[in-house]
């Protein structure tokens, strides 16, 4: 008597989606290298364009780093669902018996691991180049650890809405930037407060609240947007 084949659980489907996206990203190294190099180049140009003076650079360091983070995140967002849409696997994802919320969340996590985490790791070195006070490095990394996943989650909604369009760069920016501004503001203010010796707990709490809201709502909204775009 043939044995019944066990159906994969939602957790196993989540992990398989995560591993698959990571493998695809490492095979397409440009999706990893290009946003990271853009981030490094943008920050490296500021000392040349403004002034090599340490005091001036320290004043703008937090804003420069966060603007570069936002721009590099926007550059990497287009690859979130593009490959799945082009090879037809996005339709299979939508037909999966598992909740689309968790599958989209897995894709968001994979996207952050290949595009956001390298930025977080490299940020202290670039902060040193911009003469940011050393006591602000921990705050900078904490804000980036909280803020960069939020940017990926917010961007996934815009990508899901425009996945079927041929040219979507400007549309992605128009949709994503207004919702990303609070993350940019609170992240910058937290680093500046740390450099001035002021408490940063309030800004970090606000960033965590935005991340919590994004984790709850963004995958759900992205899943609905994908169903509309692909149908």
22-41 per-residue burial string, b: 16 or more CB within 10 A, e: under 16 = bebbeeeeebbeebbebbbe
Distances (CA, A) of 12 to 95, 105, 169, 176, 218: 16, 13, 34, 31, 21
**78, 172 Cβ separation under 8 angstroms:** yes
What's the pLDDT at 1? 42
What's the pLDDT at 5? 52
Q: What is the pLDDT of residues 215-231, one digit of tens each?
A: 999 999 988 888 887 76
In three-state form (DSSP H/G/I as H, E/B as E, the rest C), the secondary structure along 67-102 is: HHHHHHHHHHHCHHHHHHHHHCHHHHHHCCCCCHHH
Q: What is the pLDDT of residues 105-119, one digit of tens each?
A: 999 999 899 888 999
Cα separation, 198 vs 120, in Å, equals 23
Average pLDDT, the chain: 85
**Based on the number of CB atoms within 10 Å of its own CB, is 185 exposed (0-12), middle (13-18) or buried (19 or more)?**
middle
Q: What average pLDDT score do residues 28-32 get?
A: 75
Q: What is the pLDDT of residues 60-82, one digit of tens each?
A: 888 899 999 988 888 888 778 77
* pLDDT tops 80 at residue 204: yes
Closest CA to 211 of 140, 143, 113: 143
* pLDDT tops 90 at residue 189: yes
3-state secondary structure (DSSP) of residue 231 = coil
What's the pLDDT at 7? 63
Which band of pLDDT confidence, cut at 50, 70 and 90, is reported for residue 203? very high
What's the pLDDT at 4? 47
Q: In the chain, where are the structural domains located?
A: 10-230
């Amino acid at each position: 008597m043939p044995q019944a084949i066990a159906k994969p659980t939602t957790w196993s489907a989540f992990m398989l989606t995560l591993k698959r996206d990571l493998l695809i990203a490492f095979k397409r190294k440009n999706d990893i290298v290009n946003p990271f190099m853009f981030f490094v180049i943008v920050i490296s140009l500021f000392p040349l364009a403004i002034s090599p003076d340490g005091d001036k650079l320290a004043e703008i360091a937090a804003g420069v780093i966060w603007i570069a983070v936002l721009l590099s995140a926007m550059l990497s967002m287009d690859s979130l669902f593009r490959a799945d849409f082009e090879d037809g696997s996005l339709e299979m994802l939508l037909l999966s018996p598992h909740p689309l919320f968790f599958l989209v969340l897995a894709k968001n996590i994979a996207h952050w691991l290949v595009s956001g985490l390298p930025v977080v790791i490299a940020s202290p070195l670039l902060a040193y180049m911009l003469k940011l006070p050393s006591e602000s490095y921990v705050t900078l990394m904490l804000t980036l650890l909280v803020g960069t996943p939020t940017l990926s989650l917010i961007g996934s909604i815009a990508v899901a809405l425009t996945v079927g369009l041929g040219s979507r760069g400007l549309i992605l920016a128009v949709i994503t930037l207004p919702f990303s501004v609070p993350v940019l503001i609170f992240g910058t203010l937290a680093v500046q407060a740390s450099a001035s010796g002021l408490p940063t707990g309030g800004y970090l709490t606000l960033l965590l609240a935005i991340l919590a809201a994004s984790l709850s709502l963004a995958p759900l909204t992205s899943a609905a947007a994908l169903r509309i775009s692909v149908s």
